[in-house]
């Protein structure tokens, strides 16, 4: 076999290996991808019950309620169009409070509530995650 043909075969095998590795990576990450929703998105398009998602918005004023066990917290996330009740069991971030931005990671329940496995709070008064800012601008609840 000529050297030119060997190089061509090796290049094609290398390309096939790279494409195969990429497809394996994409199929593995497909199950772990976390989608971002605002409460208004959920009201429009329905509940994504089959996967882990992120729910972002503002913590509604006077909605935070602690259970007697000391680690379970209930609150409502709003975006100006809709609200979603959230339950979280664990230690909340120090910056978590009413009327501040929050991103909750977890799953929606058939009754429309959200069970969070992780909470993320903004770190200063002007910061807002890019996904949340985009959703809030679309709903009109955040003025530029």
The CATH number given to whatever domain includes residue 131 is 2.40.50.140
Query: For residue 144, is it within any domain?
Result: no
Residue-wise pLDDT tens digits, 91-122: 988 888 888 889 999 999 988 899 999 998 86
Which structural domain range is residue 92 located in? 35-139
Q: Which residues pair with 61 in a beta bridge?
A: none
Say how far apart CA 57 and CA 64 lie, in whole Å: 14
Chain segment 68-79, per-residue pLDDT in tens: 998 999 999 998
Is residue 1 included in any domain, yes or no?
A: yes
Rounded to an integer, what distance in angstroms lies between the CA atom of residue 60 and that of residue 134? 19
Half-sphere exposure of 69 (CA within 13 A, CB side): 8
Q: Which residue has the higher pLDDT, 5 or 74?
A: 74
What pLDDT is stored for residue 144 in this prediction? 47
> In terms of domains, do 62 and 118 share one?
yes
* E strand spans, the chain: 35-37, 53-59, 65-66, 72-78, 83-89, 101-108, 114-121
66 and 134, same domain (yes or no): yes
Question: Into how many domains does the chain fold?
Answer: 2
Within 10 angstroms of residue 106's Cβ, the number of other Cβ atoms is 19
Residue 28 pLDDT exceeds 60? yes
Same domain, 111 and 54: yes
Query: Strand (E) positions, 53-113?
Result: 53-59, 65-66, 72-78, 83-89, 101-108
Burial of 69 from C-beta contacts in 10 A (0-12 / 13-18 / 19+):
exposed
């Amino acid at each position: 076999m000529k050297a030119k043909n060997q190089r061509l075969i090796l290049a094609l095998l290398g390309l096939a290996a790279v494409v195969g590795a990429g497809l394996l990576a994409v199929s593995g990450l497909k199950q772990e991808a976390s989608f971002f929703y605002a409460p208004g998105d959920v009201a429009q398009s329905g509940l994504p019950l089959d996967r882990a998602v992120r729910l972002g918005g503002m913590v509604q004023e006077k909605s935070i309620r602690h259970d007697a066990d000391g680690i379970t917290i209930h609150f409502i996330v709003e975006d100006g169009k809709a609200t979603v009740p959230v339950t979280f069991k664990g230690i909340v971030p120090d910056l978590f409070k009413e009327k501040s931005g929050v991103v909750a990671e977890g799953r929606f329940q058939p009754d429309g509530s959200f069970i969070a496995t992780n909470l993320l709070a903004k770190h200063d008064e002007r910061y807002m995650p890019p996904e949340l800012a985009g959703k809030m601008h679309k709903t009109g609840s955040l003025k530029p």
